[in-house]
Structures are given as structure tokens and as C-alpha cells.
Amino acid sequence: MTSNTVNINVFGDLKYITFPKLSAAPGVRHVFSTREGGVSGAPYGKMNLSFKNGDSRENVLENYRRICLAADIDPAHLVLSRQTHTKNVKIVTRADTGTGVTKPDFCDVDGLVTAEPGVALVTQYADCVPLLFYDPVARVCANSHSGWRGTALKIGAETVKVMCGHFGSRPENIIAAIGPCICKNCYEVDLPVFNSFKGCGLSPDIFTPGIDGGHFFLDLRKANTEILLSSGILPEHIDVADLCTFENSEFLHSHRATGGKRGNLAAIIEMI
């Protein structure tokens, strides 16, 4: 697995991904996991970061301990939610740390925003689009999960709206990253999915004709890039990962490549 747009890092047996623009920004830590370096067995192998897919709690906790150690994040700072492909974005504080780990999940939340240091926002993936945000001026960070439903609902724009409306961020100050997801060559969808994007204002060329009639290839990277740009984030402030989860399913969890027999990747971001 190689990339021209993101950093692939090694920490012992663990491999993880970081984004150049976020890495260069002061006052923030972040990490995106791979399948390597954890303790989970098949079919999760080895770095699974979901408590919900049948893996043992002990394995998942150890996996979080390892990925957090690599990123210099305290596992006690983690905040997880139960993602259900919404555009719901929740503001969290230090009082919420431990949610999804030692406290019950937030339900129906796909985006997390905080203006407090020491709050490590977590979202999980196995083909959907990770969206990370950081405003070094207003000191706000966010982490949103955007599958095809979240993309059609423009959760990326909703996240920017919360950052600006509640914390005074200006879009031109926000640094963003679009993480590894399934690419346009591997993501064929049906007519109901195609129709869900009607009227959302995205370019028609996020879709190309599929192999079978009534099917289409959907470019989630392009769609989410358009959403962030239309929200006012500057193109020079956006990193877009060139890694496809399906094509790199040996290294990255992919729901489609494994028929759902897999673990979860995680994106984590925390201000310091």
C-alpha cells in the first residue's frame, strides 16, 4: 500500500495514516488506522476498532490503546457515537469523554465537534468517507462519517455550519482531510441511490454509467470535495486520500470486499 497524498507511518507492528496538512497544523493530533498492528483475530484482522461487530471487548480496548499510543492520545479522552448514516452533528465537551467506551453511545450521530482540548473525536469506517476538520484560529475540530447517505445529505457542509455557527469558525481557516474510502471504480450503486442525489446540487459527473443497466459508479471523493469547497473551505486546505479501501482491502477494512465480514477502521482527532 503506497500513497501520493497521505503519510503511511509505522509504529512497531502498527501502520497508520496521517494527513499532511493536519500534521503541519499546530495544536492538533490525528490518526487514521489500518488493519495492521492490532490483536483481533479473523475476520477482524488485526486492528478492529468497533465494539459492535462481535469482536471481544478486550481486543478492541487493546487496539485502541495501541493506536492511541502511536498518536500520543490518551484513550480516556475518546468519544464514540453510534453512526447511522445521518447528517446529525453533535457538539461534545470533556464531560463526554469515555462515551462509546465506558459510557453508553450517542445514538444516531455521525458527526462530532468540540472546541475543547483533550477530547478525542472518533468515527469508524469500512468503505465510507472519513471527514476531519480543524480550525487553528477559532480552535475547533470535528470528525464526520459520510457514507452515500451522509454525502447526499451533505454532512460535511453541516459540520462546517456547526463549527461556524456555534464557535465562530471561518471556512477559509478550516483545514480538512478526506480519508481513505471506496473509490469510484469500485463503488457501483443502484437507481434508488442515484435518485437520492437528485436536487442536492452536486455535479452530475459524480456518477458514471455502471456495468449493468440501471446502475452507476459513484465518486464519493469528488462529491465530498465539492461539498467542502462549496462550504467555503479553500482547495489548498484540503487533503484527499488516494487510497481505495476496496482495492487495498488487505490493509484497510472494506465492507464490499469482504461481504461484511470485517472490522472497522477509525479516524481520531484531538486538540491539545
pLDDT at 25 over 90: yes
DSSP state of 204: G
Strand partners for 268: 31, 122
Phi (first) and psi of residue 66, to 5 degrees: -70, -45
> Residues 6 or more apart from 229 whose CB is under 8 A from it?
235, 238
Options 3.40.50.10470, 1.20.140.10, 3.60.140.10, 1.20.210.10; which CATH number does 7-186+233-271 get?
A: 3.60.140.10
Q: Report domain extents, the chain.
A: 7-186+233-271
Mean pLDDT of 135-148: 98
Which residue, chain included where needed, has cell 453508553? 104
Q: How long, in residues, is the chain?
A: 272
* Per-residue pLDDT band at 269 (split at 50, 70, 90): very high
Q: How far apart are CA 134 and CA 245, in angstroms?
A: 24
Of 169, 125, 134, whose CA–CA distance to 264 is shortest? 125
Write the pLDDT tens digit of every residue in 200-240: 999 999 999 998 888 999 999 999 999 999 999 999 999 99
pLDDT at 60 over 90: yes
Phi (first) and psi of residue 215, to 5 degrees: -120, 155
* Per-residue pLDDT band at 45 (split at 50, 70, 90): confident
Write the pLDDT tens digit of every residue in 62-113: 999 999 999 999 999 999 999 999 999 999 999 999 999 999 999 999 999 9
Q: What is the pLDDT of residue 212?
A: 81
